[in-house]
Structure 1
Amino acid sequence: MKQRVIKIHPDDNVLVALTNLEPGETVQCEGIDYLVTEPVEAKHKMTTHDLYTGDPVYMYGVLVGKAKQPIQAGGVVTTFNLKHATDAYSPENHQAPSWTAPDVTPWANRTFMGYHRADGKVGTANYWLVIPLVFCENRNIEVLEEALVQDLGYARQRTYRNQTQELISLVSAGKTVDDILQADLQTALADHRRPRLFPNIDGVKFLSHEGGCGGTRQDAQALCGLLAGYITHPNVAGATVLSLGCQNAQVAMLQEEIQQRDPHFGKPLFVLEQQKVGTEESLISQALRQTFAGLMQANANVRKPAPLSKLCIGLECGGSDGFSGISANPMIGYTSDLLVGLGARVILSEFPELCGVEQELCERCVDSETAGRFSTLMSTYADRAQAVGSGFDMNPSPGNIRDGLITDAIKSAGAAKKGGSSPVVAVLDYPEPCVKPGLNLLCTPGNDVESTTAEVGSGANVVLFTTGLGTPTGNPIAPVVKISTNTALARRMPDIIDFNAGSIIEGDETLKEAGERMLDYIIGVASGEIEVSAVRHGQDDFIPWKRGVSL
């Protein structure tokens, strides 16, 4: 019989239900029998012994909450009987961590097929960017998108217009409201796509946003840093930038940020300032000519073999559930360790979702300076959240809570598993670039899109995104691999899930086996052999962080 509960760490005093449990039944874990005293839904937690008000609750070997009221042995922990709590942390008395990398021999000579750039980086894709420096240019960006995407063969038009035509016919035929609601629409979805004019360019992407002026000067600087990260990104061949002229985010500020990231920057970059050029027609015509010239240059680049050390992987989660921390997250944590062992760069972000594991991460930092920077960024972020009445304890969403993530500390302890066990080589403040091989921590919100946007801006050329509830999140220039924590989700939403880690919950695969399978999958994605769902659907989510409090 398959395992029905799991104890994640020897110090834990709760068990995770792998299936629904009913009162009166007995479950066994590590040779010990436990009586279930309340209904416990799969993904939720039951206590191993009686708890009294104020007693600590441990998961993953760390404090994740304290009892608000007595909880009997075999009872379920809920938002009514458990409150968020974490241990204090300090970077003091730091000692360099020791770590033994997993065996990477099977991948030592593996390569992926990527786009080599002059700065030595290698892209997993080849995109052209069209970017507004300020929200005032968003309409001109839309005009350029309408002019370019369809005719160049990049439109992903999975249109429902045929079904609309069916409904129009029913209305015209005098059908009732009930007839419309019960109509069985027979017309297949149409998918029209023209051949690409530039076959070696994966797409032209338009990074519209609501920033660049108003706000603070720091907002403008951060935005320019983020945009510079995208322009210098190895997945980008070049860019067309539209500036109004009078905004806070000045062209000189963007150029300075580009120079900081790539002192010998040589990609095609065209910058047009509307207040200098004049009419919309002049601006758009000039932008079109320059963009076409850039596309012709960029199309000359073709995929060539590259070592796996040229990968930079972002680690992300969203729509997490009670299985995230025991299947998909530790699985990509093992993959992360493999990548670090191969000399690649890995980025773990979402600082509100590292709450409760700060001490462990401090101790994993390569030196006291790195540990101190992590501690400072975490405490500053937490203080700013508290100042506006939104502490880290408010991070779990209703969906998280419904599926077993009762406190932020429970959610965070599981989320941190994405980072594996390797040393932390650098701590980055948004929107700093990731340059050191190994595990890097990047200060971002827990918001899925803001964090994914930031990871790619720091250099991630593939993002691994775990989800227990399902989310379509993608990125304009980097493939976002969607990984389900449970098989039910993979079956329910096959159109957005790329990789199923539910096999771990079912006992069909170990974390190690799944993590190795994940690395092989990444190589396929990085080589352009596998098109992930978010790319196929054109899910181009892009939200810059304004450095305000966002959980």
Structure 2
Amino acid sequence: MDTELKGKIKHQFLQIHERDNVLVALQDLSQGTNIAFRGESFYLVTPVASKHKFAVQSLERDDKVFMYGVLVGKASTKIERGEALTVNNVYHASDDFVLGDRKLDWNQPDTSKFIQRTFQGYHRTDGSVGTSNYWLVIPLVFCENRNINVLKEALDEKLGYKRTKSYENEVEGLISLYKTGKSTEQILNADMQSTPTGDRKTRLFPNVDGIKFLTHDMGCGGTRTDSDALCGLIAGYITHPNVAGATVLSLGCQHSQISILQDEIKKRDPEFAKPLAILEQQNLGTETRLLQEALKQTFAGLIEANKVTRQPAPLAKLCIGLECGGSDGFSGISANPALGYLSDILVSLGGSVILSEFPELCGVEQELSDRCVDEITANKFMHLMRTYNARAEADGSGFYANPSPGNIRDGLITDAIKSAGAAKKGGTSPITAVLDYPEKVSKPGLNLLCTPGSDVESTTAEVASGANIVLFTTGLGTPTGNPIAPVIKLSTNTRTFLKMPDIIDIDCGPIIDGLETIEESGIRILDYVISVASGDVQPKAVQLGQDDFIPWKRGVSL
């Protein structure tokens, strides 16, 4: 953690690292604002919006811009001292990286508060522990999506798993307004109130948290590499500690064959013993026979899944996925470093964390490769980064194109700025393993997983690799979730937290407001994680049934 981020922030602006030649505005600053910095003072020559940056010295064209202590861009035109940085005067740039010396010293935190803590989880025969207990229903190929939806319609409500909130009452109200002759304008201005419907019925299987019916658009028609990776991804979900068993539907003639899936399952769990029903439509014949057999085998599996109950487990059995989406200029100085501190605590306790989104590690490759435990691991990371970026550039879109319009609007004007802040989620511990999609985590400690920066694709991949909880930071507000792993949403600023309380669980804005340190925030978040892992608290994404699942097509996706 940068020394400049320790303690409580109490200023209008912040220098993140002593090497930086830009400052971050912590609130809207008007043109002419006097800036007192390092014994000198100067005036802002332009307004600077909160979360954005301004130069502390005059920069000529192609002069380097440093933030977080690393190169994050270059001036595309002359920038005056006190002038805001924008996409019009700065372009993406980052330093090259090479195999360097190992730098494995790290800021190991005090873990005394958590050393004896446990969570209530579902123990599996392979030694892993789940934070939830789901049954999975998934197709090997998109041709079976319709049958997956038929099974959902047949099972969900009858077994007590239909969502407990709908908008049917609102639709009935609109129908009533229409039938009474109200105008379009009157209907648009009508007062609509969301009405919770309450529990529809008690679950038949109280120890099963739900049946998750997943669909996708892959399995055939694409490359064999993608269909093989899909089998690995599905195997990761089937063998996941949060899954008690699964029903898999196959057509029969597709690229993603049952035999490939079985090999991928064995690779991840050689002694696999969960209930698993794999049904092939072209073998069984009629749709009726396929679905009736799927219903019987799923029901039988649920009976077995219901026999598992929560039991105490050490925090070392947690595997946390670290994710960000809808990032803003505060992400790298509030929520992300708070997760970094949490990550260091969990690693110290023997747990696992996953840092992914490789396009958002651009510019910090040297630091991360130096933190790899050995040269083989470092070389694997550098190879994956170079190969991925080269493939993207060959298709006309390198890592430089990663920031979204929302990122740019809220202060992340280059990919390197975004990346340097995103990497803070990984804390300071050594990197024990580098995984290529969709490999499984097999070592405790900090793992780097090659995924795109796309939120849902990356979250989907982290869970397949073993994350039994995902921590997701957002500055702008992102409603994503995952079917089988609780996704805890953390806002980088209080304004977003208050504006979107239905999708965000934790506010890291007190760090920006000087009310809380990064360390205090990290401890508060870990306390919440333990409650979620034990089933005592449901994150907002779980409450909303936000079951996002998108496999990564290995073609370019940033």
TM-score by length of 2: 0.97
> In the alignment, which of 13, 20, 29 is matched to residue 12 of structure 1?
20
Q: Which runs of 4+ in 1 moved over 6 A?
A: none
Tell me if 1:164 matches 2:171.
yes
Tell me if 1:99 matches 2:89.
no
Contact 2:166 2:195 (8 Å CA) reproduced: no
Identity %: 64
Contact 2:107 2:428 (8 Å CA) reproduced: no
Q: CA deviation at 1:105?
A: 1.3
Task: Please list, as runs of the form range in 1=range in 2, the aligned pairs for 1:104-503 lying within 5 A after superposition.
Answer: 104-185=111-192, 188-503=195-510
> In the alignment, which of 33, 46, 54 is matched to residue 54 of structure 2?
46
In structure 1, distance between residues paired with 2:391 and 2:427: 28
RMSD (Å), alpha carbons: 1.1
* Cα-to-partner distance string for 1:212-268 (whole Å, 9 max, x where unaligned): 111111111100000000000000000011111111111000000000000000000
User: Can you give the 5+ residue segments of structure 1 that lack an aligned partner in the other structure?
Assistant: none
Contact 1:96 1:367 (8 Å CA) reproduced: no
Q: Secondary structure at the match of 1:249?
A: coil
In structure 2, distance between residues paired with 1:446 and 1:32: 40
State the match for 2:6 in structure 1.
none
> In the alignment, which of 74, 78, 85 is matched to residue 70 of structure 1?
78
Q: CA deviation at 1:498?
A: 0.2
Q: CA deviation at 1:128?
A: 0.3
* Cα-to-partner distance string for 1:507-536 (whole Å, 9 max, x where unaligned): 000000001111111101100111000000
Contact 1:242 1:272 (8 Å CA) reproduced: yes
Q: CA deviation at 1:456?
A: 0.1
In structure 1, distance between residues paired with 2:153 and 2:307: 25
Contact 1:7 1:29 (8 Å CA) reproduced: no
Q: CA deviation at 1:34?
A: 3.8
In structure 1, distance between residues paired with 2:549 and 2:475: 22
Contact 2:164 2:196 (8 Å CA) reproduced: no
Q: CA deviation at 1:329?
A: 0.3
Larger CA deviation: 179-188 vs 414-423: 179-188
Q: CA deviation at 1:375?
A: 0.4
In structure 2, distance between residues paired with 1:185 and 1:14: 47
Q: Secondary structure at the match of 1:256?
A: helix
* Cα-to-partner distance string for 1:326-364 (whole Å, 9 max, x where unaligned): 000001000000000000010000000000000000111
Q: CA deviation at 1:187?
A: 7.0
In structure 2, distance between residues paired with 1:134 and 1:187: 37
- Match of 1:36, as an amino acid? L
Q: CA deviation at 1:95?
A: 2.5
Q: CA deviation at 1:188?
A: 3.0
Tell me if 1:85 matches 2:96.
no
Contact 1:163 1:189 (8 Å CA) reproduced: no
TM-score by length of 1: 0.98
C-alpha spacing 1:504/1:34, structure 2 compared with 1 (3 Å): farther
* Cα-to-partner distance string for 1:106-149 (whole Å, 9 max, x where unaligned): 11110000000000000000000001011010000000000111
State the match for 1:22 in structure 2.
30
* Cα-to-partner distance string for 1:443-488 (whole Å, 9 max, x where unaligned): 0000000000000000000000000000100000000000000000
How many residues align? The count is 550
Q: CA deviation at 1:402?
A: 0.2
Q: Secondary structure at the match of 1:507?
A: coil
Q: CA deviation at 1:80?
A: 0.1
User: Can you give the 5+ residue segments of structure 2 that lack an aligned partner in the other structure?
Assistant: 1-8
In structure 1, distance between residues paired with 2:358 and 2:108: 25
C-alpha spacing 1:10/1:220, structure 2 compared with 1 (3 Å): same
In structure 1, distance between residues paired with 2:76 and 2:329: 21
Q: Secondary structure at the match of 2:29?
A: coil
Contact 2:139 2:215 (8 Å CA) reproduced: yes
In structure 2, distance between residues paired with 1:89 and 1:187: 53
In structure 2, distance between residues paired with 1:33 and 1:464: 40
Larger CA deviation: 503-512 vs 158-167: 158-167
